[in-house]
């Protein structure tokens, strides 16, 4: 996924957590090592070796809600199910949701996530991110108003910002720089004007990313219009929220003027086609985002609105949706893989992941291409095989910063059977506390 679009047949050498050399440069780099050889060799024959997949928009706390929120309307889904469930979370249930989600994501080749979190227990999320070894940007959702927001999720603007900044003081740059903290105002309908001002000022002062949702569904757009007499992007522009550190999920209903505002500010958007289709929100046109010069990534959103945390599934949907929207100029398979690798990393402001190049972080996914569902592919375009045929279950190895987190069904830092058992027990308690049993 380098700028030249190289496809290299050969080896990849990793040293001290970074990519030391690849392809033709490997023999000389190996010869320069003490003893002239690598400490460990991993066999990737019959596989594609890719930059680890970058998941641009996630709510790991919602993994326990999978199958519990099946409304096909964003605002009803939030008010009737998601917010009451989030309000019922404890430290233990958040940790269980995070481990369950990461067991799925890491085995699916994901090495980097951008998680909005919920209002409370974000430290619990940080602890799971630290222990599992994945690269993560996470926050605590900021909510200080809004119809249907339960008391357990509503804070004053001051408390919301203070606790987000305290979270950043504890976790931003932690685990050797693997973890970052963002400011995560949920969306316009749940945040007061004062909170948006505070977010804009704090993000500029501390250099933190702003992670939010915008222009997701038509009913949301109508409620935003009646609440603030503006579209989302225009509102953000007027309140100084748009910048090169802005990452907005969905952007389904942005018009050309709004795309221009986002582009001029250097803001990024994250495409979540599975969530948009399942919630009945609409069809985001990523070709138009690209034409407007907007940085862009790909995400599956939470497991309550997709219900898979599976980047391969998401890539296939993104590719086919782009064909239906722009039959004459669809996204190519390489452009779609870029959303989940190099472009997705750029959208999150990460310039040393998403590409296999000497000096970059050794965040790697190894994907088997010998199964019957991807054959024959020896002479085919590898991007087409990966985007249109490969599955998450084809991932054989996932590495973050040179550390193998998953290999051939074995997790280094997670026990998936325990994660599932813990998730089942915690989900039962959560549903009871939310009054949904």
Closest CB to Zn ion among 279 and 374? 279
Q: Which residues contact 153 (CB under 8 A, 6 or more apart)?
A: 83, 86, 87, 118, 119, 120, 141, 143
CA gyration radius, the chain = 21
Q: Which residues contact 64 (CB under 8 A, 6 or more apart)?
A: 85, 93, 96, 97, 100, 423, 426, 427, 430
Closest CB to Zn ion among 14 and 199? 199
CB of 62 to Zn ion, least distance (A): 8
DSSP secondary structure string, 345-384? HHHTT-SSSSS--TTSB--EEEEE--STTT-S-TTS-HHH
Distance CA 14, CA 21 (A): 7
Q: Answer yes or no whether residue 115 interacts with Zn ion by CB under 5 A.
A: no
Closest residue to bound Zn ion by CB: 301
Q: Answer yes or no whether residue 343 interacts with Zn ion by CB under 5 A.
A: no
Task: Tell me how far CA of residue 337 lies from CA of 106, 149, 221, 344, 353, in angstroms.
Answer: 17, 37, 30, 9, 14
Closest CB to Zn ion among 55 and 295? 55
Would you give the binding string for Zn ion spanning residues 211-250, x where CB under 5 A is met? --------------------------------------x-
Query: How many residues belong to the site for Zn ion (CB under 5 A)?
Result: 2
Closest CB to Zn ion among 270 and 356? 270
CB of 331 to Zn ion, least distance (A): 22
CB of 172 to Zn ion, least distance (A): 21
Are residues 179 and 173 in contact, defined by beta-carbon separation less than 8 angstroms? yes
Distance CA 415, CA 421 (A): 10
Cis check: omega of the bond before 134, within 30 degrees of 0? no
CB of 2 to Zn ion, least distance (A): 30
Q: Answer yes or no whether residue 306 interacts with Zn ion by CB under 5 A.
A: no
Interface segment toward Zn ion; rule CB under 5 A; list 203-211, 294-302, 361-369, 411-419: 294-302
Closest CB to Zn ion among 216 and 368? 216
Interface segment toward Zn ion; rule CB under 5 A; list 11-19, 145-153, 179-187, 295-303: 295-303
CB of 275 to Zn ion, least distance (A): 7
Q: Answer yes or no whether residue 394 interacts with Zn ion by CB under 5 A.
A: no
Q: Answer yes or no whether residue 301 interacts with Zn ion by CB under 5 A.
A: yes
Closest CB to Zn ion among 118 and 413? 118
Distance CA 286, CA 424 (A): 37
Burial 282-307 (b: 16+ CB within 10 A, else e): bebbbebbbebebbbbbbbbbbbbbb
Interface segment toward Zn ion; rule CB under 5 A; list 11-19, 101-109, 297-305, 356-364: 297-305
Distance CA 245, CA 204 (A): 9
Interface segment toward Zn ion; rule CB under 5 A; list 71-79, 101-109, 172-180, 299-307: 299-307
Closest CB to Zn ion among 247 and 401? 247
Closest CB to Zn ion among 249 and 404? 249
Distance CA 277, CA 283 (A): 7
Residues in contact with Zn ion by CB under 5 A are 249, 301
């Amino acid at each position: 996924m380098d700028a030249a679009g190289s496809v290299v047949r050969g080896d990849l050498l990793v040293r001290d957590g970074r990519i030391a050399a690849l392809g033709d440069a490997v023999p000389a780099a190996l010869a320069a090592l003490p003893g002239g050889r690598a400490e460990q060799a991993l066999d990737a024959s019959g596989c594609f070796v890719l930059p680890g997949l970058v998941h641009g928009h996630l709510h790991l706390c919602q993994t326990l809600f999978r199958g519990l929120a099946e409304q096909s309307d964003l605002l009803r889904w939030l008010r009737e199910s998601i917010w009451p469930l989030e309000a019922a979370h404890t430290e233990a249930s958040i940790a269980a949701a995070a481990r369950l989600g990461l067991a799925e994501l890491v085995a699916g080749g994901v090495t980097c996530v951008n998680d909005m979190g919920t209002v409370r227990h974000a430290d619990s999320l940080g602890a799971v991110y630290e222990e599992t070894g994945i690269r993560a940007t996470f926050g605590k959702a900021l909510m200080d108003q809004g119809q249907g927001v339960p008391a357990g999720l509503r804070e004053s603007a001051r408390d919301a910002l203070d606790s987000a900044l305290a979270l950043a003081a504890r976790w931003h740059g932690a685990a050797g720089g693997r973890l970052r903290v963002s400011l995560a105002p949920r969306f316009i309908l749940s945040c007061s004007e004062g909170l948006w001002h505070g977010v804009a000022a704090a993000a500029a002062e501390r250099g933190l990313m702003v992670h939010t949702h915008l222009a997701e569904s038509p009913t949301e757009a109508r409620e935003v219009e009646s609440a603030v007499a503006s579209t989302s992007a225009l509102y953000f522009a007027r309140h100084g929220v748009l910048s090169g550190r802005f990452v907005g999920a969905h952007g389904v209903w942005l018009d050309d003027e709004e795309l221009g505002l986002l582009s001029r500010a250097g803001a990024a958007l994250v495409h979540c086609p599975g969530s948009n289709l399942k919630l009945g929100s609409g069809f985001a046109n990523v070709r138009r985002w690209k034409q407007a010069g907007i940085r862009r990534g790909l995400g599956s959103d939470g497991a309550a609105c997709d219900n898979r945390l599976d980047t391969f599934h998401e890539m296939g949907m993104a590719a086919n949706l782009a064909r239906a929207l722009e039959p004459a100029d669809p996204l190519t398979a390489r452009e779609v893989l870029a959303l989940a690798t190099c472009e997705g990393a750029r959208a999150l402001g990460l310039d040393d992941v998403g590409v296999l190049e000497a000096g970059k972080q050794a965040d790697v996914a190894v994907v088997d291409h010998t199964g019957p569902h991807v054959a024959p592919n020896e002479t085919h375009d590898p991007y087409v095989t990966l985007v249109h045929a490969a599955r998450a279950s084809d991932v054989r190895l996932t590495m973050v910063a040179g550390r193998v987190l998953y290999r051939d069904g074995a997790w280094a830092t997670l026990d998936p059977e325990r994660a599932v058992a813990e998730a089942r027990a915690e989900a039962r308690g959560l549903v009871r506390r939310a009054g949904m049993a």
